[in-house]
Each structure stands twice: as C-alpha cells, then as structure tokens.
Amino acid sequence: MIVMKFGGTSVANFEAITRAIFIVGGRLDKKPVVVVSALSKVTDLLYRISDAAAARNVSETKTLMNELRSRHVNLASDLLEQSPALKESAVGRVNAICDSLEELVNAVCAVGELSDRNKAIIISNGELLSSTIICFTMNAKGIRTNFIDARQMMITSNEYLKGEPVIDEIVARVPGVIEEAYKGMDAVITQGFIGSNLAGEQTVLGRGGSDYSASLIGMAIDAERIEIWTDVDGVRSADPRTVENTKYIEKISFEEAAEMAHFGAKVLHPLTIEPAVKKNIPIYVLNSMNPSGKGTAILRSELIEDGVKSVSFKENIRVINIFSMKMINTSGFLRRVFEIFSESKVSVDLISTSEANISVTVDAAEKIDKVVEQLSEFADVIVDDDKSQVSVIGKNIVRLNGMLKKTFAPLKRTNVYMISQGASFVNISFVVDREELKDVVKDLHYHLFEVEEELEQF
Ligand code: ADP
Ligand code: ASP
Ligand code: MG
C-alpha cells in the first residue's frame, strides 16, 4: 500500500482535481490510501467564518457561508456533470455538510462566544467537503473508491485545535479501518488534518497538518511509500516564493527534511518526518502540476551525501534574553527556566547561553506573557520583537571545513543576534532583524548555491 496526500493547491478546482485523480488512477496497483486537504484557501475561509461568528457579525458570516457553499456545490456539479445520479448525491452531501455547519455558526453568532471545541468543528469542514467531492468524482471516473471518516481512526489528545496524535490508538485502529474499507474497492480516500479525541469530539492537528496525517497513516499501515503531492517540484534549496534561483534536491535525509520543516520550510508540516522514520518509510515530495517529474526522495541518512542542502527561515520570531547573576554555577537555574517554558507549552527553537545570560527564540505567535512574568521573578528579562531566524541545513555541515565562514561571509553588514549550531550537526541557525530577512536569505542562498555554479560556467 502507498499513501498519496494531495495538498490544497493540488485539489483547488476542477482542473487540479481532475489531474489528482488521474495521478491516483496510475497507481491503483499499489493500493493507494488517498489523503486530501481542504480546497486551497478554504481553511482560511473557515477561520474567517469562525471569527465573524464570534464577533456576531451576521451579514459577514452569511456572505462567507454562501461563498463556501457555492464554491463546493459548483465544483461538485462541474466535476460530476456526466453522472447525474452521482451529481445529485454529491450536491446533496455538500449541502447537508454546509447546513449543519451553518446551524452551528448561527448558534455561535447568537451568543457571540466561540470555544476551541466549536472552532475545531467549524474548521474541520474543509477536508470533509473536499474528500466528499473527490470520492464521488473518483467513482464517476470508474475508480471504485470508499470514503473513510478520519475521525474513526486519527485519535488525538484533547487539545481541540492542535491535537497530539495518540499513536497507540492510531496504530490500533488505522489498519483495520482501511482494510475493511478496501473490500471490493480500487482505492480509499480520507481527510488530512482532522481527527477526534477519545471521547469522539472533533479535533484538528494544527495548520498544515495534512502532511502529518498522511505520515501517521503511512506508519500505521507500514506503507511502501508516502507521497506528498504539492505545487512545487519537490524540496528545493530555499522557498521559491522568496528566492529566485532555487535548486532542485533529488534526495535528502529524514533528519535534513525534519530540520528544514522545523526551521520554517512550509513544504512539509514539521512533524511529518517523525512517524515515517520509525518505520523507515520513504517520503516523496512531488508536483501535481508536473506528475512526470521525479520529485524529492526523503530517505534514511546513510543514503545521503554530506553537504549543505537548503536555507530555511522563520520570518516572525522573538528573542527572549534572560539575565541573572545567580545563574553562575547554579545547577537548578536552567532547569527552572525550561520548566517555565514547558509549563506554558511555549516551544523554544534556538538556545544560546553565556555565563550570566540565556537567550532563546520563540515563534511570535506563542503567548509568552506568563513565561516572562514567571522568569522576571528571579531574572531580568528583555524581549526583542521583529526578529527573523535563518537556518542553513545539510548533513554534517557543522563539521565541514569553512562552513561557518561561508555562512557568515555574506552577512558583513548585517546585525547577527544569536548563533546556534544544532547538536545534530545538520543545522547552523542565526537571528537577524526582520526587515533584513529577505536580503539576507537571498544573499546567503547566492553564496551557498549560485556563486560556484557561476564560476563553473567560466
Ligand atoms: P500544500 O497545500 O500542498 O500542503 P504548502 O503551501 O503547504 O502546499 O507547501 C508548498 C509550498 O512550500 C511551496 O509552494 C513553497 O512556496 C513552499 N516552500 C517553502 N520552502 C520550500 C522549499 N525549501 N522547497 C520547496 N518548497 C518550499
Ligand atoms: N487544510 C489545513 C490547513 O490549511 C491542513 C492542510 O492543508 O495541511 O491548514
Ligand atoms: Mg502544506
């Protein structure tokens, strides 16, 4: 079996879905488990619907709900034009999903209060709608496809908006559910991103979580491979939306891919690699607009050469500087500091320490008020906003001769605030002012990937 995950742009509209189904059709001998995201931008739309409802903005809520409904009804009608019976059922299903969502949204609007639990229900509808429409269309095209509700098997903790997978439950449930659904079928389809807690309440895995769903399913069924179908020709040497001349990467290691994703490369959800590594399942990142391309293979480290592979960045981070004279030689100090972060569930990216100071970086979206308050009880704390974090990633780069010089040479005129070398030898990261980020990334990419190529041409 293989897992094939299609992201939002790969199922955005009539053409994209037609292409995706054609790609699945070419792999039926591998018994694909298809995992889909919501149509492009639909999860954003659902967030806007929840905000409008929470703000009791009735007319805005209505307008957005109509947009959601008409986009899906029209799409289902167009895709199923040639199969009137299936079209009627699909449009009926789409309307039923939208009706029940509208009922909840109206109730939220009436009270003006939105719990995380209800928000999770609202934002999970994108995947339910897309998978419903694609399932009907696959059947209309002659691929006998069964629909699996991911909430039966993707079990998470009770954090409604960022559920942590309960691995034992997932491993216990997924193979049976898929096997049962596969009986007499050519393929099965399910939703990325969504799940439920043990009490059966709706949860989601957090933004971009469909990659993670695909990988968890792949692990649970011991898939032969996990394919992540997206809108770029595989993993590249930087985000092509920021850097012009990015390079194609044929293969990278699980560790490199995990670091890239963790340090900001949006191409994969940061936790995607973890389940695949457990079973040594290769992940392929492929372009649904260019299906004959080779994509990028993510493989175990032994199969990958040393050397720099990519530049990742996180645009909006904060540096928290913690000063205390008491730190010197007190063994409990660091423990206390990190306990405070951990109790507030604030995740720390980079750390650097000197004798009387610890600096850490956190995502700007993290809520740090309580952390700062608690740290201030025994240390001086200064928070620097509007910073960005840049990471150079590649197997064993920390050990490579001249790598630091190569990384920092292009930054002569830039203020660099923190430098941190990953203990895994895969990553060199540093912090710069946010307004300088784009220039720094382009310069660095040029020096690491483009300059030598230019020289070779002479
Ligand atoms: P999907 O909807 O398929 O999940 P995403 O938008 O989440 O797609 O991820 C794909 C995007 O990731 C690409 O369009 C690209 O802009 C971005 N990206 C960031 N870093 C990289 C990288 N190093 N290589 C390739 N793509 C990257
Ligand atoms: N639809 C969800 C999101 O936009 C999950 C995903 O696309 O991976 O965040
Ligand atoms: Mg994504």
- Bridge partners of 258, per DSSP, are none
Q: How far apart are CA 454 and CA 20, in angstroms?
A: 37
Q: How far is the CA of 36 from the centre of ligand 2 (A)?
A: 9
393 lines ligand 1 (CB under 6 A): no
Domain boundaries, the chain: 2-231, 309-456
Q: According to the CATH classification, is domain 309-456 in 3.40.47.10? A: no
* Token pair recorded at residue 293: 């391309």
Q: What is the CA radius of gyration of the chain?
A: 24
For the CA of 248, the nearest ligand: 1
Place of tokens 């050519």: 186
Q: Which residues fall within 8 angstroms of residue 47, CB to CB, at 6 or more apart?
A: 123
Q: What is the pLDDT of residue 329?
A: 61
For the CA of 131, the nearest ligand: 2
Q: According to the CATH classification, is domain 2-231 in 3.20.20.80? A: no
Ligand 1 nearest-atom number relative to CA 7: 3
Q: How far is the CA of 304 from the centre of ligand 1 (A)?
A: 22
Q: What is the pLDDT of residue 456?
A: 60
Say how many CA atoms lie within 13 Å of 160 toward its Cβ.
15
Q: How far is the CA of 235 from the centre of ligand 2 (A)?
A: 18
> Each residue's pLDDT tens digit in the chain (458 positions)?
999 999 999 999 999 999 999 999 999 999 999 999 999 999 999 999 999 999 999 999 999 999 999 999 999 999 999 999 999 999 999 999 999 999 999 999 999 999 999 999 999 999 999 999 999 999 999 999 999 999 999 999 999 999 999 999 999 999 999 999 999 999 999 999 999 999 999 999 999 999 999 999 999 999 999 999 999 999 999 999 999 999 999 999 999 999 999 999 999 999 999 999 999 999 999 999 999 999 999 999 999 999 999 999 999 999 999 998 776 566 778 888 999 999 999 999 999 888 788 999 999 999 999 999 999 998 999 999 999 999 999 999 887 877 778 888 888 788 898 888 877 789 999 999 999 999 999 999 999 998 866 656 55
Instruction: List, chain by chain if needed, residues with CB within 6 Å of any ligand 2 atom.
Output: 7-8, 37-38, 43, 126, 192-193, 207-210
Contact 79, 133 (CB under 8 A): yes
* Token pair recorded at residue 227: 């394919």
Q: How far apart are CA 251 and CA 69, in angstroms?
A: 41
259 lines ligand 1 (CB under 6 A): no
Q: How far apart are CA 3 and CA 175, in angstroms?
A: 13
Q: How far is the CA of 308 from the centre of ligand 2 (A)?
A: 29
Please give all residues whose CB falls under 5 A of ion ligand 3, grouped by chain where several chains appear: 7, 208
Q: CA dist 254 to 154, 230, 248, 259, 294, Å?
A: 23, 18, 17, 9, 18
